[in-house]
């Protein structure tokens, strides 16, 4: 008896799923944090700059997701044994060439928005833009893609934390600020934990495809310990950081971190998709507490 053929989702649904909208909070949260810090320090807000910053960051994130979708399929990483969410190229929704074209269009949009931001921020923003676009390609492109080695978490810490927060803050104030760096580190750590959970879930299939992530070298036990540190360290950093406002509010995040750490120790297989989403929400919770801390 033949297996039933899975229905292909409508075109718009396929496009949305290919963009991986659930990953966007990892980009939007640090942008909002940088803007929030700038408002707390200056009591000023450049709306159009903020909107351009948000859309440029989203374009780079979606472009990276799309390129990753096509590249993983071509490298044989996305197989039927994969436990993660469906991927557009692997499901046959689009050809790899089509997905890559869409990725290039998103990178082009990010470039155009970056040109507008360049008029505001000058060469520091040019440097950040070039680095971000290059990193978006290098994550899964080339002979030694970042995603296939042990430095993926470090990449996420840098670009989904420090670079994004510092750049967003600078575009609002045109001043470099060490508080932005501290917040960037604090938000980049749980973002790195999201990637760690992703690679923890896919450890066996990644190994079979020749992918040697940090989880491969640490093993599952070591990865669980690192995950705990990636969630607890930001709380300590933010509580004791010389930020304006009531930083003691970040203690509220401690029980959330402990629950997530315990859940990873018990979770396995497809259950880790929920763990991944909850870890991303933990980063968003830190941004919410940051906003609340500035109000008190």
Sketch out the chain's domains with CATH numbers. 11-16+23-295 (1.10.600)
Cβ(34)–Cβ(243) under 8 Å? no
Give the closest residue to 230 by CA, choosing from 268, 267, 269, 200.
200
Residue with tokens 């089509």: 98
pLDDT at 285 over 80: yes
Other CB atoms within 10 Å distance of the CB of residue 10: 9
d(CA 241, CA 244): 9
Question: In this predicted structure, what is the pLDDT of residue 119?
Answer: 92
Least confident range from 79-93, 124-138, 161-175: namely 79-93
Give the closest residue to 204 by CA, choosing from 81, 87, 76, 104.
81
Least confident range from 54-58, 81-85, 184-188, 258-262: namely 81-85
Question: In this predicted structure, what is the pLDDT of residue 112?
Answer: 92
pLDDT at 76 over 70: yes
Chain-centre distance of CA 112, in angstroms? Answer: 22
- Sequence-ordered list of residues with C-beta below 8 angstroms from that of 57, at least 6 positions apart, any chain: 27, 28, 31, 164, 168
pLDDT at 137 over 90: no
Confidence bin at 147 (pLDDT 50/70/90): confident
Least confident range from 17-31, 53-67, 130-144, 279-293: namely 130-144
Confidence bin at 3 (pLDDT 50/70/90): very low
pLDDT at 1 over 60: no
d(CA 71, CA 54): 26
Question: In this predicted structure, what is the pLDDT of residue 6?
Answer: 60
Confidence bin at 68 (pLDDT 50/70/90): confident
How many Cα atoms sit within 13 Å of 206 on the Cβ side? 22
pLDDT at 151 over 60: yes
Give the closest residue to 128 by CA, choosing from 66, 100, 156, 170.
170
pLDDT at 2 over 50: no
Query: What six digits make up the tokens of 277?
Result: 């989403």
Question: In this predicted structure, what is the pLDDT of residue 209?
Answer: 78
Please give the residue that has the higher pLDDT: either 288 or 245: 288
pLDDT at 78 over 70: no
Q: Find the mean pLDDT for residues 38-47.
A: 94
Confidence bin at 4 (pLDDT 50/70/90): very low
Cβ(282)–Cβ(252) under 8 Å? no
d(CA 49, CA 186): 24
- Residue-wise pLDDT for 177-231, tens only, equals 999 999 999 999 999 999 999 999 988 888 887 889 999 999 999 999 999 999 9
pTM of the model: 0.90
**C-alpha angle with apex 200: 197 to 201, nearest 5 degrees?**
90
Q: What percent of the chain has pLDDT over 70?
A: 95
Query: What six digits make up the tokens of 181?
Result: 């760096």
Give the closest residue to 179 by CA, choosing from 296, 255, 89, 293.
293
Query: What six digits make up the tokens of 202?
Result: 């896919």
DSSP tag of 5: P
Residue 140: phi, psi to the nearest 5? -130, 0
pLDDT at 77 over 60: yes
For residue 91, CA distances in Å to 67, 73, 78, 79, 291 come to 15, 10, 9, 10, 40
């Amino acid at each position: 008896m033949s297996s039933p053929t899975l229905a292909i989702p409508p075109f718009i649904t396929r496009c949305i799923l290919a963009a991986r909208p659930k990953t966007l909070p990892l980009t939007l949260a640090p942008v909002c944090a940088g803007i929030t810090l700038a408002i707390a320090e200056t009591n000023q807000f450049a709306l159009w700059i903020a909107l351009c910053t948000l859309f440029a960051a989203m374009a780079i994130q979606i472009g990276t997701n799309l390129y990753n979708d096509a590249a993983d399929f071509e490298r044989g990483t996305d197989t039927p044994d994969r436990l993660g969410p469906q991927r557009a190229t692997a499901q046959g929704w689009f050809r790899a060439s089509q997905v890559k074209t869409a990725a290039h269009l998103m990178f082009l949009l990010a470039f155009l928005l970056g040109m507008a931001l360049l008029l505001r921020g000058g060469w520091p923003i040019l440097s950040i833009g070039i680095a971000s676009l290059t990193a978006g390609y290098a994550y899964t492109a080339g002979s030694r893609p970042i995603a296939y080695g042990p430095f993926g978490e470090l990449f996420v810490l840098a670009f989904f934390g420090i670079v994004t927060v510092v750049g967003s803050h600078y575009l609002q104030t045109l001043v470099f600020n060490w508080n932005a760096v501290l917040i960037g580190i604090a938000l980049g750590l749980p973002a790195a934990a999201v990637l760690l959970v992703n690679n923890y879930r896919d450890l066996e299939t990644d190994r079979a495809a020749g992918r040697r992530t940090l989880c491969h070298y640490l093993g599952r036990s070591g990865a669980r310990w690192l995950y705990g540190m990636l969630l607890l360290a930001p709380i300590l950093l933010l509580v004791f950081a010389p930020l304006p406002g009531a930083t003691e509010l970040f203690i509220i995040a401690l029980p959330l971190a402990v629950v997530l750490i315990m859940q990873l120790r018990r979770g396995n297989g497809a259950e880790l998709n929920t763990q991944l989403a909850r870890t991303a929400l933990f980063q968003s919770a830190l941004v919410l507490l940051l906003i609340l801390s500035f109000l008190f």
